[in-house]
């Protein structure tokens, strides 16, 4: 097994304080690896980076169209959102259209990550609900597919038809049988795969066209379009997913996952990217995906978002610049 490759150095003054390492793969539309760092065969949990894979059955089954879902709904289905008003309102309206309420969700309540919404809840004394959970859009999608399939309410059970459909889509798109699953923070199964398998799935999204011959191809293209068109719903203000997609003018879809995972879908180039920072650091995953996007010509290296994610600066409580990020040699 190839060891993890250094990706990001964290410098404070004249000293390198930390080094983040990981695995990253770029795959083209034919399934060929065009660039790799570390071990492409490293087995990982994609965590929330695979939400577009989990949403595929919602679309290719006809469930999304039967419910009249828009691209905004599909973007939220792929989201790890902030729980801001625009996210919560859309999730609540979606549940209402299904004639369901917050109690139908199985993701669990989570304090909003959006500070304004969180503070408003505290002032009002209103309870934190499941719609505030960053995965509530994905779970609204699961409930919609549950309704379409006529299945039971416990849709996060690994044996439930919704999760069986999610696993089939996941394995088909990654091109390999998943070696197993863990339970994610939102209670849904998260299927393991290799970094290369995850990149292969993203390349298949990148190659998909809305006029494609199969329902799955059309669904993949539609989900990619929805994410890129509504970056504010996929994450939220100040988040890397949102700022990166805006910086690239909606030409690329990106998605983070917990524990240092990040993916990118580049339709114009027919490329898919997946990476995993082995220490689970978000700052390293954000810097690494920005570096790869710059390397592939999708992100302007001079754009403020590209500069901030790859180089910092690191500031202290007084606002003073005290350090910086440096891409590791071999990853520049």
Specify the CATH architecture of the domain 5-327.
Answer: 3-Layer(aba) Sandwich (3.40)
DSSP designation for 130? G
Neighbours of 322 (CB within 10 A): 13
Confidence (pLDDT) at 2 = 75
Asked if 315 and 321 count as a contact pair (C-beta separation under 8 A), the reply is yes
Q: What's the pLDDT score for residue 330?
A: 87
pLDDT on residue 13: 93
Which are the contacts of 133, defined by CB distance < 8 A and separation ≥ 6? Answer: 83, 105, 107, 108, 109, 110, 139, 186
- Beta pairing, strands 43-44 & 181-183: unpaired
pLDDT of residue 152: 98
Q: Are 71 and 221 in contact (CB under 8 A)?
A: no
Q: b/e for 97-117, b at 16 or more Cβ within 10 A?
A: eeebebebbbbeebebbbeeb
Whether omega before 138 lies within 30 degrees of 0, making that bond cis, reads no
Closest CA to 120 of 93, 83, 94, 79: 83
Residue 1: what pLDDT?
A: 52
Q: Can you read off the two tokens belonging to residue 69?
A: 């879902």
- The reported pTM is 0.97
Mean pLDDT, contiguous 10-residue spans, the chain (332 residues):
90 97 98 97 98 98 98 98 98 98 98 96 96 98 98 98 98 98 98 98 97 97 98 98 98 98 98 98 98 98 98 97 96 85
Among 171, 191, 173, which Cα is nearest to 43's?
A: 191
Domain boundaries, the chain: 5-327
Q: At what angle do helices 115-124 and 85-97 cross, to 10 degrees?
A: 70
Predicted confidence at residue 90, as pLDDT, reads 98
Note the pLDDT tens digit of each residue in 160-186. Answer: 999 999 999 999 999 999 999 999 999
Q: What is the dihedral of CA 168, 52, 62, 143, to 10 degrees?
A: 90
Q: Are 244 and 41 in contact (CB under 8 A)?
A: no
- Dihedral angle computed from the Cα positions of residues 100, 232, 282 and 111, in that order, rounded to the nearest 10 degrees: -40
CB 210 within 8 A of CB 218: yes
Q: Please tell me the predicted confidence (pLDDT) of residue 76.
A: 98
Distance between CA atoms of 69 and 83, rounded to whole angstroms?
20
Beta-carbon contacts of residue 318 (< 8 Å; ≥ 6 apart): none
Place of tokens 């990040």: 262
Residue 179 C-alpha from the chain's centroid? 21
């Amino acid at each position: 097994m190839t060891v993890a490759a250094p990706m990001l150095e964290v410098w404070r003054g004249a000293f390198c304080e930390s080094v983040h390492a990981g695995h990253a793969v770029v795959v083209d539309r034919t399934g060929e690896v065009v660039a790799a760092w570390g071990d492409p065969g490293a087995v990982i949990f994609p965590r929330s980076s695979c939400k577009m894979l989990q949403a595929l059955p919602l679309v290719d089954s006809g469930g999304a169209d039967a419910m009249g879902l828009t691209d905004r709904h599909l973007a939220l289905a792929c989201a790890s959102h902030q729980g801001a008003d625009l996210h919560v309102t859309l999730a609540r309206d979606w549940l209402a259209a299904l004639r369901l309420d917050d109690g139908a969700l199985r993701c669990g309540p989570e304090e909003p990550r959006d500070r304004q919404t969180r503070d408003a809840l505290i002032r009002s004394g209103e309870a934190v609900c499941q719609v505030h959970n960053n995965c509530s859009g994905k779970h609204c999608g699961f409930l919609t597919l549950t309704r379409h399939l006529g299945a039971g309410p416990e849709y996060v059970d690994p044996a439930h038809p919704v999760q069986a459909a999610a696993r089939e889509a996941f394995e088909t798109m990654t091109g390999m049988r998943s070696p197993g699953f863990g339970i994610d923070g939102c209670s849904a199964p998260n299927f393991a795969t290799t970094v290369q398998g995850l990149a292969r799935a993203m390349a298949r999204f990148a190659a998909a066209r809305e006029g494609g011959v199969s329902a799955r191809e059309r669904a993949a293209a539609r989900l990619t379009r929805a994410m890129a068109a509504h970056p504010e719903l996929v994450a939220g203000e100040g988040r890397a997913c949102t700022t990166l997609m805006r910086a690239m003018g909606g030409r690329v879809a990106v998605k983070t996952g917990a524990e240092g995972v990040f993916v990118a879908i580049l339709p114009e180039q027919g490329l898919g990217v997946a990476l995993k920072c082995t220490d689970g650091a978000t700052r390293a995953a954000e810097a690494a995906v920005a570096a790869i996007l710059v390397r592939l010509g999708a992100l302007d290296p001079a754009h403020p978002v590209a500069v901030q994610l790859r180089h910092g600066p690191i500031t202290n409580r007084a606002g003073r610049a005290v350090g910086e990020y440096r891409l590791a040699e071999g990853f520049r």
